[in-house]
Amino acid sequence: MSIIYEMKIKKAVSVIITYKNEVFVIKRKNSLRSFPGYLAFVGGKVDKEDFNAKDPLLNAVKREVEEELGIDIDSFSHSMSKFCEVTSPSFNPIRFETFFYHLRLFEKPDFTLCEHEIAQGIWSKPQTILDSWKEGNYLIIPPIRFMLSLLASNIELKEASYTRSSIDGKVPWVEVINDLIQYMPLSHTLPPATRTNCFYINGDKKFIVDPSPKNEQEKQKLLNSIDKVDFIFLTHYHGDHIERSNEIAIKLNVPIYLSKDTKRLIENKQEHFFKGVETKIIKDRDVIGSWKQSKIICYDISGHAKGHFGIMPENKKWFIVGDIFQGVGSVVVGGQNASMLDYMNTLKMIIKEDPKCVIPSHGIALGGTHIIEKNLKHRQLREEQVEKLYFKLDKDINKIYEHIYVGLNEKLKPYAMANIKSHLDKLKTEKRI
């Protein structure tokens, strides 16, 4: 149900490999835990054995190149310099101090790509890669784009200095997909998460998704961060997705788009939530704008919550899926307005649609649908477990909980019980129990 992160900053290396006017980048496999599906340079964390070497960082560079590309650097004519140093921002749950090295090759080797980590290896001009990113074709973190932009100006550059954009008076943000900015205001969400993503879609219409700052100070920071907005889109009714969104709509003088069920469920809890706010009801497969000349389509992704909606452009380059999965923590599927049957059908639908990446409300964009497939398999296995225990333990839900969630923090028991009950409801609907 929860994940505890080690906040110690770890060391890592990243190797910028160039030959003549080209740079070598890799597309990471969608199944990786760290930045799946992202375009990156060869590299990885500095291991314990590297620290036994005279130069731990250089040892890590050589080891990573050999592991990922199957070559020994010293067997090729080259020059190498420590290019740049970047430390992950403080709001990241896992932080790295990454040392970038520029490895200039004077002969072009044949690489043997590590099949466990690399989906694709690409030799290209740096500007060509950046142009393709601007078309929405790649997931690339800002430091990598910064390095590519420098190389586009001077492929022989030996060193540089990276300065992160200031967020004073604003909320943290990142743009790994062009014209889709992920703002991260603090919110009243379930731990271990502390933030709910607020997405800014910069298309023919400019809108934000799920603005839900936890207090007035955070609301002002979010308002200081965003540009022109035509409307607000709410994925579902949970508090960590809607808090103060009505106030923001009034402040910006824009309507709120949401499903009929989401509006009803919000009003059931807060009768006057939409006072002074224009609302527009959206339905499954409605079009609400365009991004990169591709229609943005609404999808009913109910399950975690009734009336839960996501959005995806017609070109399927991304799918904002709300709480269908979480990059931080686990999704609860339980309670009066949740349905395990709908949730698992939603997972199957997203897998069938096959977007190039999926983007959650908590965490970062992930390449492909590997995480969705993994979640579906987990739920199916849990369902089989619940079904067997239901008969074995005389239909006693508490005993089922004790058998499955051994050692779970008691504070999380209500959420675990809700998941079990939702599985049982699905089994009863399907007449399996």
Q: Cα(401)–Cα(395) distance, rounded to whole angstroms? A: 11
Residue 401 has pLDDT above 50, yes or no: yes
Q: Average pLDDT for residues 206-233, to the nearest whole number?
A: 98
Say how many domains are in the chain.
3
Q: Average pLDDT for residues 350-357, to the nearest whole number?
A: 98
| Any domain includes 160 | no
pLDDT of residue 221: 98
Co-location of 294 and 411 in the same domain: no
pLDDT of residue 126: 98
pLDDT of residue 7: 54
Which phi and psi angles does 269 have, rounded to 5°? -95, -35
Q: Which of 348, 370, 392 is the last residue of a domain?
A: 370
Q: Please, which pLDDT band fits residue 3 given cuts at 50, 70 and 90?
A: very low
Residue 6 has pLDDT above 50, yes or no: no
Least confident of 92-96, 185-189, 386-390: 92-96
Residue 429 has pLDDT above 60, yes or no: yes
pLDDT of residue 1: 29
pLDDT of residue 166: 84
| Any domain includes 415 | yes
Q: Average pLDDT for residues 72-84, to the nearest whole number?
A: 95
pLDDT of residue 5: 37
Co-location of 149 and 192 in the same domain: no
pLDDT of residue 2: 32
pLDDT of residue 164: 87
Co-location of 273 and 401 in the same domain: no
Element (H, E) at 376: helix 370-392
Give the chain's end-to-end CA distance (angstroms, integer).
Answer: 26
pLDDT of residue 171: 97
| Any domain includes 173 | no
pLDDT of residue 91: 80
Co-location of 72 and 104 in the same domain: yes
pLDDT of residue 90: 83
Neighbours of 75 (CB within 10 A): 8
Give yes or no for a contact between 96 and 11, defined as CB atoms under 8 angstroms apart: yes
Co-location of 207 and 349 in the same domain: yes
Co-location of 333 and 399 in the same domain: no
285-308, pLDDT tens digit by residue?
Answer: 999 999 999 999 999 999 999 999
| Any domain includes 161 | no
The three-state DSSP-derived secondary structure of 218-259 is HHHHHHHHCCCCCEEECCCCCHHHHCCHHHHHHHHCCCEEEE
187-218, pLDDT tens digit by residue?
Answer: 999 888 899 999 999 999 999 999 999 999 99
| Any domain includes 222 | yes
| Any domain includes 1 | no
Q: Cα(379)–Cα(301) distance, rounded to whole angstroms? A: 16
| Any domain includes 165 | no
Q: Which of 349, 370, 391 is the last residue of a domain?
A: 370
Average pLDDT along the chain:
95
Domain that holds residue 40: 10-153
CATH number at residue 62: 3.90.79.10
| pTM over 0.85, yes/no | yes
Q: Are strands 309-313 and 42-45 parallel, antiparallel or unpaired?
A: unpaired
